Protein backbone atom coordinates (compact mmCIF):
# COMPACT_ATOMS: atom_id res chain seq x y z
CA UNK A 1 0.00 0.00 0.00
CA UNK A 2 1.35 3.44 -0.92
CA UNK A 3 2.31 5.70 1.94
CA UNK A 4 0.43 8.99 1.75
CA UNK A 5 3.37 10.78 3.36
CA UNK A 6 5.73 9.95 0.50
CA UNK A 7 3.43 10.67 -2.44
CA UNK A 8 4.21 13.45 -4.89
CA UNK A 9 1.02 15.42 -5.38
CA UNK A 10 0.38 16.12 -9.09
CA UNK A 11 -2.28 18.19 -10.88
CA UNK A 12 -2.89 17.81 -14.62
CA UNK A 13 -4.49 20.46 -16.83
CA UNK A 14 -5.54 19.52 -20.36
CA UNK A 15 -7.08 16.06 -20.48
CA UNK A 16 -6.84 15.32 -24.17
CA UNK A 17 -4.99 12.33 -25.62
CA UNK A 18 -1.75 13.18 -23.84
CA UNK A 19 -3.30 14.46 -20.63
CA UNK A 20 -5.44 11.37 -20.13
CA UNK A 21 -2.39 9.21 -20.78
CA UNK A 22 -0.41 11.17 -18.19
CA UNK A 23 -3.16 10.66 -15.60
CA UNK A 24 -3.26 6.93 -16.28
CA UNK A 25 0.51 6.53 -15.97
CA UNK A 26 0.82 8.68 -12.86
CA UNK A 27 -1.86 6.71 -11.03
CA UNK A 28 0.22 3.56 -11.62
CA UNK A 29 3.27 5.22 -10.05
CA UNK A 30 3.90 4.16 -6.48
CA UNK A 31 5.31 7.55 -5.51
CA UNK A 32 2.72 9.85 -7.10
CA UNK A 33 -0.92 10.81 -6.64
CA UNK A 34 -3.09 12.77 -9.09
CA UNK A 35 -4.86 15.20 -6.77
CA UNK A 36 -6.61 17.34 -9.41
CA UNK A 37 -7.41 17.44 -13.11
CA UNK A 38 -9.00 20.08 -15.30
CA UNK A 39 -10.26 20.49 -18.84
CA UNK A 40 -12.87 22.80 -20.34
CA UNK A 41 -14.32 19.73 -22.08
CA UNK A 42 -16.66 17.78 -19.78
CA UNK A 43 -16.48 14.67 -21.96
CA UNK A 44 -12.69 14.62 -21.62
CA UNK A 45 -13.01 14.72 -17.85
CA UNK A 46 -15.53 11.88 -17.89
CA UNK A 47 -13.17 9.71 -19.95
CA UNK A 48 -10.42 10.24 -17.38
CA UNK A 49 -12.48 9.37 -14.30
CA UNK A 50 -11.82 5.60 -14.49
CA UNK A 51 -8.15 6.37 -13.81
CA UNK A 52 -8.82 8.60 -10.78
CA UNK A 53 -9.37 8.07 -7.09
CA UNK A 54 -12.54 9.34 -5.44
CA UNK A 55 -10.55 12.10 -3.73
CA UNK A 56 -9.28 13.64 -6.98
CA UNK A 57 -10.57 17.14 -7.68
CA UNK A 58 -12.18 17.28 -11.14
CA UNK A 59 -12.97 20.74 -12.49
CA UNK A 60 -13.59 22.67 -15.70
CA UNK A 61 -11.73 25.68 -14.24
CA UNK A 62 -7.97 25.13 -14.58
CA UNK A 63 -7.04 27.58 -11.83
CA UNK A 64 -8.96 25.48 -9.30
CA UNK A 65 -6.43 22.63 -9.51
CA UNK A 66 -4.09 24.83 -7.46
CA UNK A 67 -6.57 24.60 -4.58
CA UNK A 68 -5.51 20.97 -4.21
CA UNK A 69 -1.99 22.20 -3.35
CA UNK A 70 -0.06 20.06 -5.83
CA UNK A 71 3.71 19.74 -5.65
CA UNK A 72 3.82 19.68 -9.46
CA UNK A 73 1.45 21.01 -12.12
CA UNK A 74 1.57 19.25 -15.49
CA UNK A 75 0.27 21.63 -18.19
CA UNK A 76 -0.86 19.40 -21.07
CA UNK A 77 -3.28 21.64 -22.96
CA UNK A 78 -2.53 23.36 -26.26
CA UNK A 79 -3.58 26.79 -24.99
CA UNK A 80 -0.98 29.56 -25.00
CA UNK A 81 -2.22 32.70 -23.25
CA UNK A 82 -4.42 30.83 -20.77
CA UNK A 83 -1.66 28.34 -20.04
CA UNK A 84 0.91 31.11 -19.51
CA UNK A 85 -1.40 32.79 -17.00
CA UNK A 86 -2.01 29.55 -15.12
CA UNK A 87 1.67 28.64 -15.02
CA UNK A 88 2.62 32.08 -13.72
CA UNK A 89 0.09 31.73 -10.95
CA UNK A 90 1.35 28.25 -10.09
CA UNK A 91 4.94 29.49 -9.91
CA UNK A 92 3.96 32.35 -7.62
CA UNK A 93 2.33 29.76 -5.35
CA UNK A 94 5.62 27.81 -5.27
CA UNK A 95 4.34 24.95 -7.42
CA UNK A 96 6.75 23.28 -9.84
CA UNK A 97 5.56 22.97 -13.46
CA UNK A 98 6.12 20.37 -16.19
CA UNK A 99 5.14 21.55 -19.68
CA UNK A 100 3.73 18.88 -21.95
CA UNK A 101 2.29 21.95 -23.69
CA UNK A 102 5.10 22.70 -26.15
CA UNK A 103 3.23 25.67 -27.62
CA UNK A 104 3.28 27.82 -24.48
CA UNK A 105 6.72 26.41 -23.70
CA UNK A 106 8.17 27.74 -26.94
CA UNK A 107 6.32 31.06 -27.02
CA UNK A 108 6.66 32.16 -23.40
CA UNK A 109 9.02 29.61 -21.87
CA UNK A 110 11.88 32.04 -21.30
CA UNK A 111 9.62 34.38 -19.33
CA UNK A 112 8.20 31.47 -17.31
CA UNK A 113 11.70 30.19 -16.53
CA UNK A 114 12.70 33.59 -15.18
CA UNK A 115 9.62 33.66 -12.94
CA UNK A 116 10.35 30.12 -11.74
CA UNK A 117 13.87 31.13 -10.70
CA UNK A 118 12.51 34.20 -8.92
CA UNK A 119 10.13 32.01 -6.91
CA UNK A 120 12.62 29.25 -6.14
CA UNK A 121 10.77 26.57 -8.14
CA UNK A 122 11.20 24.80 -11.47
CA UNK A 123 9.44 24.99 -14.81
CA UNK A 124 10.65 22.52 -17.43
CA UNK A 125 9.68 20.85 -20.68
CA UNK A 126 8.43 17.30 -20.33
CA UNK A 127 10.83 14.36 -20.61
CA UNK A 128 9.12 12.25 -23.25
CA UNK A 129 8.35 14.41 -26.27
CA UNK A 130 11.04 14.70 -28.94
CA UNK A 131 12.66 17.84 -27.57
CA UNK A 132 12.92 16.49 -24.02
CA UNK A 133 14.38 13.21 -25.23
CA UNK A 134 16.89 14.96 -27.50
CA UNK A 135 18.20 17.22 -24.76
CA UNK A 136 18.60 14.21 -22.46
CA UNK A 137 20.49 12.35 -25.21
CA UNK A 138 22.79 15.29 -25.82
CA UNK A 139 23.50 15.60 -22.11
CA UNK A 140 24.77 12.02 -22.29
CA UNK A 141 26.95 12.37 -25.38
CA UNK A 142 28.37 15.66 -24.09
CA UNK A 143 29.28 13.98 -20.81
CA UNK A 144 31.16 11.36 -22.84
CA UNK A 145 33.25 14.08 -24.44
CA UNK A 146 31.60 14.37 -27.87
CA UNK A 147 30.90 17.66 -29.59
CA UNK A 148 27.23 18.14 -30.56
CA UNK A 149 26.82 18.47 -34.32
CA UNK A 150 23.12 17.80 -34.75
CA UNK A 151 19.97 17.18 -32.76
CA UNK A 152 17.71 15.29 -35.12
CA UNK A 153 14.02 14.51 -35.39
CA UNK A 154 12.42 11.84 -37.56
CA UNK A 155 9.28 13.03 -39.36
CA UNK A 156 7.03 10.31 -40.74
CA UNK A 157 4.85 12.47 -42.98
CA UNK A 158 4.74 16.14 -43.92
CA UNK A 159 2.00 18.14 -45.66
CA UNK A 160 2.43 21.89 -45.14
CA UNK A 161 -1.16 22.51 -46.24
CA UNK A 162 -2.94 20.01 -43.98
CA UNK A 163 -5.97 21.44 -42.18
CA UNK A 164 -8.64 20.21 -39.75
CA UNK A 165 -10.78 18.95 -42.64
CA UNK A 166 -8.08 17.06 -44.50
CA UNK A 167 -6.84 15.10 -41.47
CA UNK A 168 -10.17 14.08 -39.89
CA UNK A 169 -9.67 10.37 -40.53
CA UNK A 170 -6.10 10.38 -39.22
CA UNK A 171 -7.04 12.43 -36.14
CA UNK A 172 -9.86 10.02 -35.26
CA UNK A 173 -7.56 7.02 -35.64
CA UNK A 174 -4.96 8.58 -33.34
CA UNK A 175 -7.46 10.01 -30.79
CA UNK A 176 -6.22 13.54 -31.49
CA UNK A 177 -8.03 16.86 -31.68
CA UNK A 178 -8.30 18.09 -35.28
CA UNK A 179 -6.10 21.18 -34.88
CA UNK A 180 -3.58 19.18 -32.88
CA UNK A 181 -3.30 16.56 -35.62
CA UNK A 182 -3.08 19.24 -38.32
CA UNK A 183 -0.19 20.91 -36.47
CA UNK A 184 1.66 17.58 -36.42
CA UNK A 185 1.03 16.99 -40.12
CA UNK A 186 1.92 20.47 -41.40
CA UNK A 187 5.26 20.50 -39.55
CA UNK A 188 4.45 23.27 -37.07
CA UNK A 189 4.72 20.98 -34.03
CA UNK A 190 8.11 19.68 -35.19
CA UNK A 191 9.34 23.25 -35.72
CA UNK A 192 8.23 24.12 -32.18
CA UNK A 193 10.03 21.10 -30.74
CA UNK A 194 13.25 21.84 -32.57
CA UNK A 195 13.10 25.53 -31.60
CA UNK A 196 12.95 24.40 -27.97
CA UNK A 197 16.05 22.24 -28.44
CA UNK A 198 17.93 24.98 -30.27
CA UNK A 199 17.02 27.60 -27.68
CA UNK A 200 18.09 25.34 -24.83
CA UNK A 201 21.43 24.31 -26.36
CA UNK A 202 22.17 27.38 -28.54
CA UNK A 203 22.06 25.45 -31.81
CA UNK A 204 21.70 26.85 -35.32
CA UNK A 205 20.16 25.52 -38.54
CA UNK A 206 21.55 24.78 -42.00
CA UNK A 207 18.71 26.52 -43.84
CA UNK A 208 15.37 28.16 -43.10
CA UNK A 209 12.83 25.42 -42.44
CA UNK A 210 15.61 22.83 -41.99
CA UNK A 211 16.85 20.44 -44.70
CA UNK A 212 14.78 17.33 -43.94
CA UNK A 213 16.18 14.81 -46.45
CA UNK A 214 14.19 11.66 -47.17
CA UNK A 215 16.12 8.54 -46.16
CA UNK A 216 15.25 4.89 -45.57
CA UNK A 217 17.11 4.50 -42.27
CA UNK A 218 18.00 7.11 -39.68
CA UNK A 219 21.67 6.05 -39.81
CA UNK A 220 21.82 7.50 -43.34
CA UNK A 221 21.70 10.96 -41.75
CA UNK A 222 25.50 10.77 -41.48
CA UNK A 223 25.68 11.10 -45.25
CA UNK A 224 22.56 13.19 -45.88
CA UNK A 225 23.73 16.47 -44.33
CA UNK A 226 26.72 18.78 -44.68
CA UNK A 227 28.14 17.93 -41.26
CA UNK A 228 31.23 20.09 -41.73
CA UNK A 229 28.98 23.11 -42.18
CA UNK A 230 26.90 22.03 -39.20
CA UNK A 231 30.05 21.84 -37.09
CA UNK A 232 31.20 25.28 -38.27
CA UNK A 233 27.83 26.65 -37.10
CA UNK A 234 28.39 25.20 -33.64
CA UNK A 235 25.79 22.46 -34.06
CA UNK A 236 22.33 22.50 -35.65
CA UNK A 237 18.84 21.06 -35.41
CA UNK A 238 17.27 19.23 -38.35
CA UNK A 239 15.21 16.18 -39.28
CA UNK A 240 14.98 13.24 -41.68
CA UNK A 241 11.82 12.17 -43.52
CA UNK A 242 10.19 8.76 -43.36
CA UNK A 243 13.11 6.90 -41.83
CA UNK A 244 13.17 3.61 -39.97
CA UNK A 245 12.78 3.12 -37.08
CA UNK A 246 9.67 5.27 -36.90
CA UNK A 247 9.25 7.33 -33.75
CA UNK A 248 12.98 7.63 -33.28
CA UNK A 249 15.18 10.63 -32.56
CA UNK A 250 18.90 10.97 -33.07
CA UNK A 251 21.94 13.05 -32.31
CA UNK A 252 25.22 13.34 -34.19
CA UNK A 253 28.38 13.82 -32.18
CA UNK A 254 31.98 14.50 -33.23
CA UNK A 255 35.40 13.52 -31.98
CA UNK A 256 38.65 13.27 -33.93
CA UNK A 257 40.58 12.00 -30.93
CA UNK A 258 42.48 8.82 -31.99
CA UNK A 259 41.48 7.03 -28.78
CA UNK A 260 37.83 7.85 -29.29
CA UNK A 261 37.96 6.74 -32.90
CA UNK A 262 39.55 3.42 -31.96
CA UNK A 263 37.07 2.61 -29.23
CA UNK A 264 33.98 3.87 -31.07
CA UNK A 265 34.91 1.65 -34.00
CA UNK A 266 35.42 -1.22 -31.55
CA UNK A 267 31.95 -0.53 -30.12
CA UNK A 268 30.44 -0.76 -33.63
CA UNK A 269 29.72 2.98 -33.88
CA UNK A 270 31.76 3.50 -37.04
CA UNK A 271 35.13 4.95 -37.95
CA UNK A 272 34.18 8.53 -37.17
CA UNK A 273 34.87 11.32 -36.63
CA UNK A 274 31.05 11.80 -36.83
CA UNK A 275 28.90 9.38 -34.83
CA UNK A 276 25.15 8.86 -34.86
CA UNK A 277 23.44 8.17 -31.55
CA UNK A 278 19.96 6.71 -32.02
CA UNK A 279 17.07 6.40 -29.61
CA UNK A 280 14.52 4.25 -31.44
CA UNK A 281 11.53 5.59 -29.53
CA UNK A 282 10.09 8.49 -27.58
CA UNK A 283 7.14 7.64 -25.37
CA UNK A 284 5.60 11.03 -24.56
CA UNK A 285 3.29 10.64 -21.54
CA UNK A 286 4.95 7.43 -20.35
CA UNK A 287 8.07 9.45 -19.61
CA UNK A 288 6.34 12.31 -17.76
CA UNK A 289 7.10 10.70 -14.35
CA UNK A 290 10.82 11.07 -15.18
CA UNK A 291 10.43 14.85 -15.39
CA UNK A 292 8.47 14.96 -12.14
CA UNK A 293 11.01 12.84 -10.28
CA UNK A 294 13.91 14.86 -11.65
CA UNK A 295 12.31 17.94 -10.10
CA UNK A 296 11.28 16.43 -6.79
CA UNK A 297 14.29 14.19 -6.13
CA UNK A 298 17.13 16.08 -7.81
CA UNK A 299 15.85 19.67 -8.19
CA UNK A 300 16.77 19.50 -11.88
CA UNK A 301 15.08 20.42 -15.15
CA UNK A 302 14.76 18.49 -18.41
CA UNK A 303 14.85 21.45 -20.83
CA UNK A 304 14.73 25.19 -20.27
CA UNK A 305 15.26 27.73 -23.06
CA UNK A 306 18.35 29.84 -22.46
CA UNK A 307 17.97 32.27 -25.38
CA UNK A 308 15.96 32.96 -28.55
CA UNK A 309 18.35 31.33 -31.00
CA UNK A 310 15.56 30.21 -33.37
CA UNK A 311 11.88 31.07 -33.80
CA UNK A 312 8.84 29.46 -35.44
CA UNK A 313 7.63 31.97 -38.00
CA UNK A 314 4.16 32.03 -39.56
CA UNK A 315 3.64 31.19 -43.24
CA UNK A 316 0.42 31.36 -45.25
CA UNK A 317 -1.08 27.91 -45.77
CA UNK A 318 -3.29 29.27 -48.56
CA UNK A 319 -3.89 32.57 -50.32
CA UNK A 320 -5.22 35.01 -47.70
CA UNK A 321 -7.18 38.25 -48.09
CA UNK A 322 -6.93 41.41 -45.98
CA UNK A 323 -9.41 41.27 -43.11
CA UNK A 324 -8.90 37.56 -42.50
CA UNK A 325 -9.02 36.69 -38.80
CA UNK A 326 -6.16 34.22 -38.49
CA UNK A 327 -6.77 30.92 -36.75
CA UNK A 328 -3.28 30.04 -35.56
CA UNK A 329 -1.55 26.71 -34.99
CA UNK A 330 -3.12 23.69 -36.69
CA UNK A 331 -5.78 25.70 -38.49
CA UNK A 332 -6.68 26.55 -42.07
CA UNK A 333 -4.53 29.66 -42.52
CA UNK A 334 -0.96 29.13 -41.29
CA UNK A 335 1.89 26.71 -40.79
CA UNK A 336 5.08 27.29 -38.87
CA UNK A 337 8.65 27.31 -40.17
CA UNK A 338 11.82 27.12 -38.08
CA UNK A 339 13.98 30.15 -38.78
CA UNK A 340 16.22 32.77 -37.24
CA UNK A 341 14.28 35.51 -35.45
CA UNK A 342 13.47 38.44 -37.73
CA UNK A 343 10.40 40.47 -38.63
CA UNK A 344 8.19 37.39 -39.15
CA UNK A 345 5.33 36.98 -36.70
CA UNK A 346 5.79 33.95 -34.42
CA UNK A 347 2.98 31.52 -35.20
CA UNK A 348 2.27 31.15 -31.50
CA UNK A 349 1.06 34.76 -31.43
CA UNK A 350 -0.94 34.72 -34.67
CA UNK A 351 -4.33 33.41 -33.54
CA UNK A 352 -7.11 36.04 -33.57
CA UNK A 353 -4.94 38.68 -35.22
CA UNK A 354 -6.43 40.30 -38.33
CA UNK A 355 -4.49 40.31 -41.58
CA UNK A 356 -4.06 43.77 -43.09
CA UNK A 357 -2.32 42.76 -46.34
CA UNK A 358 -2.95 40.21 -49.04
CA UNK A 359 -0.73 37.11 -48.74
CA UNK A 360 -0.01 34.33 -51.20
CA UNK A 361 0.48 30.72 -50.14
CA UNK A 362 3.87 30.19 -48.42
CA UNK A 363 4.51 33.91 -47.90
CA UNK A 364 5.71 34.90 -44.43
CA UNK A 365 3.33 36.83 -42.20
CA UNK A 366 5.19 39.81 -40.75
CA UNK A 367 4.49 41.64 -37.50
CA UNK A 368 3.31 44.68 -39.48
CA UNK A 369 1.00 42.51 -41.64
CA UNK A 370 -1.46 42.02 -38.78
CA UNK A 371 -3.45 43.91 -36.18
CA UNK A 372 -3.74 42.51 -32.67
CA UNK A 373 -6.99 42.82 -30.71
CA UNK A 374 -7.09 45.95 -28.57
CA UNK A 375 -5.19 45.58 -25.29
CA UNK A 376 -4.13 42.03 -26.23
CA UNK A 377 -2.30 40.66 -23.14
CA UNK A 378 -0.06 38.50 -25.32
CA UNK A 379 1.71 41.62 -26.55
CA UNK A 380 2.46 42.67 -22.98
CA UNK A 381 3.79 39.20 -22.13
CA UNK A 382 5.94 39.17 -25.26
CA UNK A 383 7.42 42.57 -24.49
CA UNK A 384 8.04 41.56 -20.89
CA UNK A 385 9.86 38.44 -22.08
CA UNK A 386 11.90 40.45 -24.58
CA UNK A 387 13.23 42.62 -21.78
Whether pLDDT at 284 is above 60: yes
pLDDT tens digit sequence for 4-48: 458 999 999 999 999 999 999 999 999 999 999 999 999 999 999
pLDDT tens digit sequence for 83-142: 999 999 999 999 999 999 999 999 999 999 999 999 999 999 999 999 999 999 999 999
Residues 6 or more apart in contact with residue 42 via CB below 8 angstroms = 60
pLDDT tens digit sequence for 54-71: 999 999 999 999 999 999
Alpha helices in 99-155 (DSSP H): 102-118, 130-143
pLDDT tens digit sequence for 152-210: 999 999 999 999 999 999 999 998 999 999 999 999 999 999 999 999 999 999 999 99
pLDDT at 1: 44
pLDDT at 5: 54
- What is the Cα–Cα distance from 24 to 251, expressed in whole angstroms? 30
Whether pLDDT at 3 is above 60: no
Q: Which domains are present in the chain?
A: 4-129+285-298 (3.40.50.720), 130-283 (no CATH), 311-386 (3.90.1210)
- What is the Cα–Cα distance from 38 to 111, expressed in whole angstroms? 24
| Helix (H/G/I), strand (E/B), else coil: 283 | coil
Of 14, 26, 4, 19, the C-alpha closest to 292 is 26
| Helix (H/G/I), strand (E/B), else coil: 141 | helix
pLDDT tens digit sequence for 290-335: 999 999 999 999 999 999 999 999 999 999 999 999 999 999 999 9
Q: Read off the pLDDT of each residue in 207-231 and give the average, rounded to a whole number.
A: 98
Q: What is the dihedral sign for C-alpha 196, 197, 203, 208? A: negative
- What is the Cα–Cα distance from 271 to 248, expressed in whole angstroms? 23
Q: What is the pTM of this model?
A: 0.97
Q: Read off the pLDDT of each residue in 247-266 and give the average, rounded to a whole number.
A: 98
Amino acid sequence: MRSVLTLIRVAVVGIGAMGRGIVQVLQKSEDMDVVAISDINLLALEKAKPFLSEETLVTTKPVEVLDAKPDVLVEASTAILEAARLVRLALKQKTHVVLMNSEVDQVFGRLLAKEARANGVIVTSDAGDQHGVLVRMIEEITSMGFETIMAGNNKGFLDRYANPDSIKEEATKRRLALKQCASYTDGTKMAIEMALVANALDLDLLKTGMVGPKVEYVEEALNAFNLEQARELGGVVDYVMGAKPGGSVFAIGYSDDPEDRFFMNYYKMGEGPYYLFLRPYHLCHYETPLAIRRIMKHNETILVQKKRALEVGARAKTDLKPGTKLDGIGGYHLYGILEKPDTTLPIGLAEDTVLTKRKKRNEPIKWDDVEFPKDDPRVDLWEEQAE
